[in-house]
Amino acid sequence: MSLTQSLKEVVQSTTALTQAVQKTYSQHNAEIQKILNIAPELQRTFYVDAVNGDNSNDGSQDAPLRTLRKAADRVPRHGRGHLHLLSDYHMTEAVYARDCYINVYGDETVHRRVTFGSYLHASDGEESRALHGFRWVGSSYFNFCYLDLRLPVVVTDQVGVSSSTYSAIVSCATSANTGNQGVTFRYGNIHIPTEEEGAPAGHVLGPAGPVAVFFSNITASGAGLKKRISRNDRAGSYVMNITLDELP
């Protein structure tokens, strides 16, 4: 075989290899592009203004929604929602994380105050006290940042009524744990009513578990968290990054 023929075959082989690599790259690039096209739909950002918002808006900063419930319902399953509060907020309905990760942000300089309304929950013909709180469905996670979460006191017409599993700021939406669930409290405050303010209407966490719980740079005003973190006394139900004795 002549040198010219050998060089020709080398060039042909190199060209074929280059074309194969380009084809493979194009296929991979197409697959990556599909993922990139889908990813924005899994990452959703909404703004909520309880004073000036409207649930018919698109949820942008210039056209915020009115309720957290509406914003959370727009977060897709297996997605991640970033919900920004532009005002203080009073919960008058439960907010659900359905197989997704929901971040609720206040303002870094002025923490948004979140208060919780109470209601009577009917089950099997009996009524028990409950809060309009945040609820996990399936494998879900809540992350609260720059918020002042305020546990309410028992209202007059609910004195003597027993607490339900929903009498908590965060609880499972079903009577039993249905997936991997967790919650993070960051850079904010949790207020527990003092005796002078009145009897607390619930706890921070509902009784269903196991649940991962993470605290970072959290303060506690009022009576403190130790006695009101949860009414669940089952060992191992909560996996926390700090011990109960370390709670503020």
pLDDT in tens, 54-71: 999 999 999 999 999 999
Q: How many domains does the chain have?
A: 1
Mean pLDDT of 130-149: 93
Listed residue (203, 204, 136, 190) closest to 163, CA to CA: 203
Which of 14-18, 35-39, 166-170 has the least mean pLDDT?
14-18
Neighbours of 150 (CB within 10 A): 20
- The answer to whether residue 200 sits within a structural domain is yes
Residue 114 confidence (pLDDT) above 80 = yes
- The answer to whether residue 31 sits within a structural domain is no
Q: What is the pLDDT of residue 107?
A: 93
More confident residue, 227 or 21: 227
Mean pLDDT of 133-161: 90
Listed residue (3, 218, 192, 208) closest to 111, CA to CA: 218
- The proportion of the chain whose per-residue pLDDT surpasses 90, expressed as a percent, equals 46
Mean pLDDT of 213-224: 92
Q: What is the pLDDT of residue 21?
A: 46
Task: Give the tokens for residue 221.
Answer: 């005003």
- The answer to whether residue 172 sits within a structural domain is yes
Confidence of residue 116 (pLDDT cuts 50, 70, 90): very high
- The answer to whether residue 50 sits within a structural domain is yes
- The answer to whether residue 195 sits within a structural domain is yes
- The answer to whether residue 51 sits within a structural domain is yes
Listed residue (167, 173, 244) closest to 199, CA to CA: 167
- Averaged pLDDT of the chain: 83
Q: What is the pLDDT of residue 240?
A: 82
- Exposed, middle or buried: residue 128 (CB in 10 Å: 0-12, 13-18, 19+)? middle
- The answer to whether residue 204 sits within a structural domain is yes
- The answer to whether residue 104 sits within a structural domain is yes
CB 68 within 8 A of CB 104: yes
Residue 132 confidence (pLDDT) above 80 = yes
Listed residue (98, 48, 87) closest to 70, CA to CA: 48
Domain that holds residue 152: 44-246
